[in-house]
């Protein structure tokens, strides 16, 4: 039997890519938030496809995640002249 430690499991379930853009702390934070957003969207859509959550519930969860991401973008001034 193969045993996995917590780090292996976490890196498999929530992989992170390295950031290649212009280094600014705001860019790095937003990149991490965006990766987390995409990972959660993947889980939600998989659960909906498998019939574990309804389409309406999945939509509401994705909408809430998008609002969080948008708030993060605005807080960090990402995508504006100040944040780039």
- Per-residue pLDDT of 20-55, as tens digits, reads 778 888 988 998 999 999 999 999 999 999 999 999
Residue with tokens 């996995």: 4
Residue with tokens 């504006």: 80
Chain-centre distance for alpha carbon 49: 19
Tell me how far apart the alpha carbons of residues 54 and 44 are, in angstroms, rounded to a whole number.
10
More confident residue, 16 or 49: 49
| pLDDT recorded at residue 71 | 96
């Amino acid at each position: 039997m193969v045993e996995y430690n917590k780090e292996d499991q976490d890196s498999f379930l929530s992989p992170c890519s390295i950031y290649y853009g212009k280094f600014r702390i705001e860019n790095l934070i937003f990149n991490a938030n965006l990766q987390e957003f995409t990972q959660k969207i993947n889980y939600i859509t998989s659960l909906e496809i498998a019939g574990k959550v309804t389409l309406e519930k999945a939509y509401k969860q994705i909408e809430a995640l998008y609002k969080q991401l948008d708030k993060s973008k605005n807080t960090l001034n990402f995508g504006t002249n100040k944040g780039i």
